[in-house]
Amino acid sequence: MATPTATAAKTKAAKTAKQDPKKAKAAAIAEARSFAPELTVRIGSTPKTKFRGNPDVFGRLVEDHDKHRALIAMIEETTSGNPDQRKMLFEEFCKEVQSHAAAEEQALWSTVMREPSTTDDARHAVAEHKELDDLMADLAARDYSSPGWLRRFAALKEEYLHHVGEEEQEQFVAAEKTLSASDLKYMRKVFERRKKAEKAAAKIEKKIKLKD
Residues that bind Fe ion (CB under 5 A): 61, 104, 167
Which residue number, 74 or 107, has a Cβ lying nearer to Fe ion?
Answer: 107
Question: What is the nearest approach in angstroms of Fe ion to the Cβ of residue 163?
Answer: 6
Which residue number, 12 or 162, has a Cβ lying nearer to Fe ion?
Answer: 162
Instruction: Annotate 95-131 with b (16+ C-beta within 10 A) or e (fewer).
Output: bbbbbbbbbbbbbbbebbbeeeebeebbeebbebbee
Alpha-helical regions (H) of the chain: 4-16, 21-33, 57-77, 83-104, 110-114, 119-140, 149-166, 172-176, 181-201
Question: What is the nearest approach in angstroms of Fe ion to the Cβ of residue 100?
Answer: 6
Question: What is the nearest approach in angstroms of Fe ion to the Cβ of residue 182?
Answer: 21
Which residue number, 61 or 73, has a Cβ lying nearer to Fe ion?
Answer: 61
Question: What is the nearest approach in angstroms of Fe ion to the Cβ of residue 164?
Answer: 6
Give the 3-state secondary structure of 57-84.
HHHHHHHHHHHHHHHHHHHHHCCCCCHH
Whether 93 contacts 173, CB under 8 Å: no
Which residue number, 43 or 61, has a Cβ lying nearer to Fe ion?
Answer: 61
